[in-house]
Structure 1
Amino acid sequence: MSQAEFARHRGVSKAIVTKWKGQGLLSLTDDGKVDVDATEWNLDQRPATYRGGTTHRPVRAIPQDEEPVGKPARPAAAPRPAPAAPQPVNDEAGSDPVEFDPENPNLPLAQAAQRKENYLGLLRKQEHAVKQGLLVDRAAAEAAFFDEARAIRDAWIAWPARVAIEMADELKIDARELTQVLSDYVNKHLAELGEPTDLDLSRHQQS
């Protein structure tokens, strides 16, 4: 078979056949013809996939008494061993645990997350108590206590003048003198109780 016929037989161009000849893959007879079986055997010894295309046949086994054409195939690389898992570092025996300070602004990430969850839980608990009517706004409570205390104080201040005439008539004494005496004692008592602005709600907080 001529080189042109072999090129058509292999489905390649004649230039490829010429290249194979230069690489020593083309086996020729004494009359210059292509030895098809020998040449195809040489071509099929190449890797299954290479830059020139794909071989047409599986790689043949090389007889023990013959040398392979071209470079021998590289042995398969041994699989790499899996990296060893890092071993946990144990703390020294008997070491005291680090004290958790919720007010520390430089807490580790885990403790900072714990503090956040604790505060969020307290906030949700407070919101629930407000919805249930168990908690009220402090400013509103202070205003209500102040108004109530002032109303009680004003009522006590007006009380001597309101009852002195009737009391004086029953006691058969001067109403003006009784009014003055009652007013003095009421004012003294109110002074001991203090002004409404001095109200301290902390004494009334639930334990």
Structure 2
Amino acid sequence: MQGMSERRYAAHAGVSRGAVQKARLAGRLVLFADGSIDAAGSDARRAAMTDPAKQRPAPSRGKLKPVPEAALSAVGETLREQGLSAPAVGGSTTFLQARTANEVLKAQERRLKLQKLKGELVALDRAKILVFRLAREERDAWVNWPGRVAALMAAELGVDTATMHDLLERQVRTHLAELADVRADFR
């Protein structure tokens, strides 16, 4: 036998034996007189005659794509949040660790969706609007308070009503200015 058998050529080309047989019938292989396959000639002819759009990508044979550092750190962070062992930063993440982190994230996502459906979880924008509205109502109640109680307090203490109103209003505005420095952090 001068050349390769169908099985040997299939292993050489990285395709199945059936693909080699189809290529032989389609005339994409170079054959020796004894029917064996000329590997170099067949490789060239197959490359020239095969539509690249219809070819499968070559198997990676140990060449793995590098995983972005951000993805690896996210896996480690998720595992640590759940109290599971995570690789050190820059260490290698195993497939099992990555799959575990993926399952944990899917479970967390399902839990959040369920909480949202039950009404236990609200959107951040809606929460901000509600907190702002509540703070404004509270501020308005305090701003109006000196006008409501100044006359009663002045009569009880025997002082001028206008003086009492001015004093209370000044103190309330000072207190509200201090409270205005407080910012709601929704993170």
TM bin (shorter chain): 0.3 to 0.5
**Which structure has the larger Rg over C-alpha atoms?**
1
Higher relative contact order (CA 8 A, sep 6+): 2
More helix by share: 2
TM-score by length of 1: 0.42
TM-score by length of 2: 0.45
